[in-house]
Amino acid sequence: MKILILRFSSIGDIVLTTPVVRCLKEQLPEVEIHYATKPQYAGILEANPHIDKVITLQGSVSSLAKSLRNEKYTAVLDLHANLRTRLLRTLLPGVSFHVFRKQNLRKWLLVKKLSTKPCEHVVYRYMDTIKKWGVKYDGKGLDFFYTESEVNGLQGMRYTAYAIGGTWATKRMPLNKIEELIKTSNEYWVLLGDGNDSQVGEILASQFPDRVTNMCGKLTLDQSAQVLASATKVVTHDTGLMHIAAALRKPIVSIWGNTIPDFGMGPFLPETMNSKPILAEVAGVACRPCSKIGFNACPKGHFDCMQKQSMVEISKLLHQM
């Protein structure tokens, strides 16, 4: 059996597909697994021992389809379900496609406050695409495989990692709230994020030189994963590093702004872990969720879903972990 998995982006979404890869490989004898993604995300998959071949989307979907026709796949798992993957279905006639349920209507109803019924977690929806072969979720959570390399300045340190980034501003804690969290906690903080988070990281490191190390924009994804793996606990926004932290079996406090875990994208830990992720949400904000993705600024201007987060309560929870 030869199976192709499609998930072109992004970091967190790809990490969330790893139970499918693992369960297929461990439960189906002699299965060969290929995985197609964008070039910038190939590194997330190349170290995964359950994947036999990583294919990158170079150029058009039609050129990708041309190269895929020669592979003679038994089935294709469409774990992205977007325009590109729908086009691929037409360009690969005769191949059986299994498409995951996005539940966009349910998300829309949550945003419009027309329903409170949560989405099923996306991992279970991904797993549904392979149940016809008798493959079942094994309870082991997510996977993230990385190549270890030295991260200077952190050797022998005990610290809490904080992934301060997020694609959209309404998913990120504002600077004043992060300052408040550092002041009210007893943690030593190592800040993680990409180059877009570097300025905030530098401000915090200069304000709290004895409490903060800023690594934003200074590390590869594998190095960031290593920092997460060595942390005693992790604070994170709704971002890709949250899912990597879950894959690394870390105690997690995830802070939620305009999005909600009920969209089915919350931290997904193994069933055997004693601790459950702590979800920091502000109750009673009538406009939340305001989007299934996010905005560059609060549409209402008040940003209560983050500004009303209790830093004292989060610090207390961290101390108890």
CA distance 135 to 115: 32
Q: Does 307 score more than 90 pLDDT?
A: yes
Question: Sorting pLDDT into bands at 50, 70 and 90, what band is 148?
Answer: confident
CA distance 199 to 214: 10
Q: What is the mean pLDDT of residues 80-108?
A: 96
Question: Sorting pLDDT into bands at 50, 70 and 90, what band is 73?
Answer: very high
CA distance 165 to 193: 5
Q: What is the mean pLDDT of residues 231-256?
A: 97
Question: Sorting pLDDT into bands at 50, 70 and 90, what band is 156?
Answer: confident
What CATH number should be reported for the domain whose range is 2-133?
3.40.50.2000
Q: What is the mean pLDDT of residues 223-237?
A: 96
Site of tokens 């994963």: 225
pLDDT of residue 152: 80
**For 261-278, what is each residue's pLDDT tens digit?**
999 999 999 999 988 899
Q: What does pLDDT average to over the chain? A: 96
In words, the CATH class of domain 160-320 is alpha beta
Q: What is the mean pLDDT of residues 300-310?
A: 98
**For 162-188, what is each residue's pLDDT tens digit?**
999 999 999 999 999 999 999 999 999
Q: Check residue 134 and give left, alpha or beta (phi > 0: left; psi -120 to 50: alpha).
A: left
Question: Sorting pLDDT into bands at 50, 70 and 90, what band is 105?
Answer: very high
Q: Which two tokens stand for residue 288?
A: 């939340």
Question: Sorting pLDDT into bands at 50, 70 and 90, what band is 129?
Answer: very high
pLDDT of residue 147: 87
Question: Sorting pLDDT into bands at 50, 70 and 90, what band is 151?
Answer: confident
**For 18-53, what is each residue's pLDDT tens digit?**
999 999 999 998 999 999 999 999 999 999 999 999
CA distance 144 to 22: 11
Phi then psi for residue 153, to 5 deg, are 95, -5
Question: Sorting pLDDT into bands at 50, 70 and 90, what band is 161?
Answer: very high
C-alpha gyration radius of the chain: 20
Q: What is the mean pLDDT of residues 101-126?
A: 97
Q: Where along the chain do the CATH 3.40.50.2000 domains lie?
A: 2-133, 160-320
Pair 297, 170: CB distance under 8 Å: yes
pLDDT of residue 162: 98
Proportion of the chain above pLDDT 70, given as a percent: 100
